[in-house]
Amino acid sequence: MIDISPKHLEEVRKILRQQLPHALIWAFGSRVTAKASEGSDLDLVVHSPDDEALPLGRAREAFRDSNLPFTVELLDWATIPEHFRHEILKNYVVIFPSEIPENLAG
């Protein structure tokens, strides 16, 4: 479960579809752990199909320019430290795509 409205989740997915169509994206942090407050951001981690670092600048800009009532923080799985990966793996929600492609299913 993710603590954002269905309308806002669809807007997030629309931006992801436009900017990162081939990536697998997880939400993590306070909006997944039911500890979000009104001003909490949405933390997302992006997995590329080939485990290479992705350019996230345009996606970040699209989120900044959106009408979402919260900040979206994008991180790249390929570039974050191992200890942080372990923290994310404890509690996350796949938000994009809604079906996981075979090459990312593990």
Q: Would you call 43 a catalytic residue per the annotation?
A: yes
pTM of the predicted protein model: 0.87
Instruction: Identify the burial level of 62 via C-beta atoms within 10 angstroms of its C-beta, where 0-12 means exposed, 13-18 middle and 19 or more buried.
Output: middle
Cα(94)–Cα(28) distance, integer angstroms: 9
Q: Would you call 65 a catalytic residue per the annotation?
A: no
Determine the pLDDT at residue 85: 95
Identify the active-site residue in 41, 50, 51, 65: 41
pLDDT, one tens digit per residue, over 52-85 is: 777 899 999 999 999 999 999 999 999 999 999 9
List the CATH code of the domain at 6-98. Answer: 3.30.460.10
Q: Where are the domains of the chain?
A: 6-98
Phi/psi of residue 78, each to 5°? Answer: -70, -20
How many C-beta neighbours within 10 Å does residue 66 have? 15
Identify the active-site residue in 43, 51, 65, 76: 43
Q: Please, what is the angle between helix 6-19 and helix 57-65, to 10°?
A: 150
